[in-house]
Amino acid sequence: MNSPVIEDPRPAGTFRKRHQLPPLAYGYAALEPIIDARTMKLHHDVHHAGYLEKLNAALEKFPELRDSPAPSLLCNLDRVPEEIRTAVRNSAGGHVNHSLFWRAIRPNAAREPGGALRAAIIRDFGSIAAFKTRFETAGAALFGSGWVWLVQSRQDGGRLEVITTSGHDHPMMQDRYPLLLNDVWEHAYYLHYESRRAEYLKACWSVLDWEEATRRFERPYTSQEELWEAEGGQLLQTAGR
């Protein structure tokens, strides 16, 4: 017996590429007890997937945007139609930031930064410990939902900074390249840490991966456009459905 044919209700030529959820490179329970399995599963399969659903829905009517990687949509919001600009800012930001986050944390993470990054942290913060305190303090102090980042500025000779962004805004929107990050939305920690965000931030040092941060720091220098392209290509894939 033949399977029923499912008709695609959209007219020919409509948008078919979809931004996709990157799989986790480890199991949901791999980061226990620092990040519990239920939090990981909800965070990846429900929260991150939800941003993708919203992003794909927003882009459905705008096929001219289909070849833009999510990071470049985010960095060129002025070219996104006003009607979907806020939705794209929130959902492309949610997609890009979470895609980075799943790679920034891992089981058996490298506990210390490597050579050149280590030297730059000591140059700009005084010591690794001073940097960690700055990162924890900034993350704990951020009002509402957002992210805390170690970034490299595109100006000032590549100086390192700790910054926070609200919602799902991303450092490359302000010409800063992300090296290390943590999610301080309540959905990232509330099941296990309840309101103790500072405790979560401190505990996370054993799952934040300095090897990944070092790799990001030691990337070859490229133009802003190439950097976006590389970020999009490495992290984020679109595919037909």
Q: Which residue is nearest to Mn ion (CB)?
A: 183
As measured in angstroms, the least distance from the Cβ of 160 to Mn ion is 24
Cβ closer to Mn ion: 124 or 183? 183
The whole-angstrom separation of Cα 188 and Cα 191 is: 8
Which is nearest to 217 in space by CA: 156, 176, 173, 166?
176
The answer to whether 179 touches 101, Cβ cutoff 8 Å, is no
Tell me the two tokens of residue 118: 């280590």
The whole-angstrom separation of Cα 126 and Cα 130 is: 6
Cβ atoms within 10 Å of 217's Cβ, excluding its own: 23
Which is nearest to 135 in space by CA: 84, 73, 210?
210
As measured in angstroms, the least distance from the Cβ of 116 to Mn ion is 29
Cβ closer to Mn ion: 185 or 200? 185
As measured in angstroms, the least distance from the Cβ of 10 to Mn ion is 31
Cβ closer to Mn ion: 28 or 185? 185
Cβ closer to Mn ion: 35 or 213? 35
As measured in angstroms, the least distance from the Cβ of 55 to Mn ion is 15
As measured in angstroms, the least distance from the Cβ of 168 to Mn ion is 8
Furthest-apart CA atoms within the chain: distance in Å: 71
As measured in angstroms, the least distance from the Cβ of 196 to Mn ion is 17
User: Which letter does DSSP use for residue 115 in this model?
Assistant: H
Tell me the two tokens of residue 167: 């919602």
As measured in angstroms, the least distance from the Cβ of 4 to Mn ion is 38
Cβ closer to Mn ion: 88 or 104? 104
Cβ closer to Mn ion: 94 or 113? 94
What is the identity of the amino acid at 49?
Answer: A
Cβ closer to Mn ion: 93 or 232? 93
* Residue indicated by tokens 């050149």: 116
Angle at 123 between CA 122 and CA 129, to 5 degrees: 25
Binding site for Mn ion (CB under 5 A): 183, 185, 188
Q: Is 198 exposed, middle or buried (0-12, 13-18, 19+ CB in 10 A)?
A: middle
Map residue 178 onto helix, strand or coil.
strand
